[in-house]
Structure 1
Amino acid sequence: MATATMTSKGQLTVPKEIRDQLGLKPGDKVELVPSGDDRVVMRKRRTIELKELFGILPAGTVPLTLEGIDDAIAEEILEKDRRSRE
């Protein structure tokens, strides 16, 4: 198990073994996702190409606001990611 210590500024250094396992390099983004009680899942943020977004929303259900479109795309990406892990 790897351990990190939080600084007074709220910063953590990701231990080398975890960086290596996730393939993290300087400048990479990570997602921290609450996962029940006092657990957090950290995963490398995946870059999505524009062509992966085509056809992601069902026809006729596109929200009319930019915020609604962003939310719908985010939900579909998370669902697609969840399905790919099953």
Structure 2
Amino acid sequence: MQVTEKGQVTIPKRLRDAAGFLPGSQVAFSLEGGKIIIRKTGMGTDDRRKSLRAAAAKVRKSLDEPFRQMDSEEIMAFLRPDDDDRA
């Protein structure tokens, strides 16, 4: 594997998959005993979506029946402050 002029390398897919590095994953580098270590520090896009969907499912389950019947536009309108609240 070759390092480019910009210091870039491609992590082989089998290693990315094994480490759980998804597109958008945040990583940190450290030097330990002469070896460069790459650690995942943040969620990738797919992980973040999965986490948000799980949180949204919990919220939906906790809502009273009238709220469960609302569509997304009705929920957004409910959440927005009234003109009186903006003053």
Question: Which structure shows the bigger proportion of residues in helix conformation?
Answer: 2
* Relative contact order, higher structure (CA 8 A, sep 6+): 2
Band of TM-score, shorter chain:
0.3 to 0.5
- The higher radius of gyration belongs to 2
TM-score (normalised: structure 1): 0.44
TM-score (normalised: structure 2): 0.43
